[in-house]
Amino acid sequence: MSSDRIDRIREHLEGAFSPGVLEIVDESYKHVGHAGAAGGGGHFVVKIEGEAFEGKSRLEKHRMIYGALGEMMEGEIHALRIVS
């Protein structure tokens, strides 16, 4: 299931931004037993860089990424850490 989610995250972000760098790590295993993980949502780390983010603040970049992931943020992804 984890690799399916990673593939879907990748599809959404590549489709929206065509990033030069995109790395996705599933850290859900670190949160076993965490109340938020009980609902089945995963914990992911995303490193993404590209022209779409040039000149954007950290907040703007986060909003763009959350927007691109849409419904995944409502259940499939419990936590998303974005690194540069």
pLDDT tens readout for residues 24-79? 999 988 866 666 556 678 899 999 999 999 999 999 999 999 999 999 998 889 88
pTM confidence score: 0.87
Query: pLDDT tens digit string along 14-24?
Result: 999 999 999 99
In angstroms, the CA 12 to CA 7 distance is 9
Domains of the chain, with CATH numbers? 2-83 (3.30.300.90)
Q: Measuring CA to CA, which residue among 42, 54, 45 is closest to residue 17? A: 54
3-state secondary structure of 80: strand
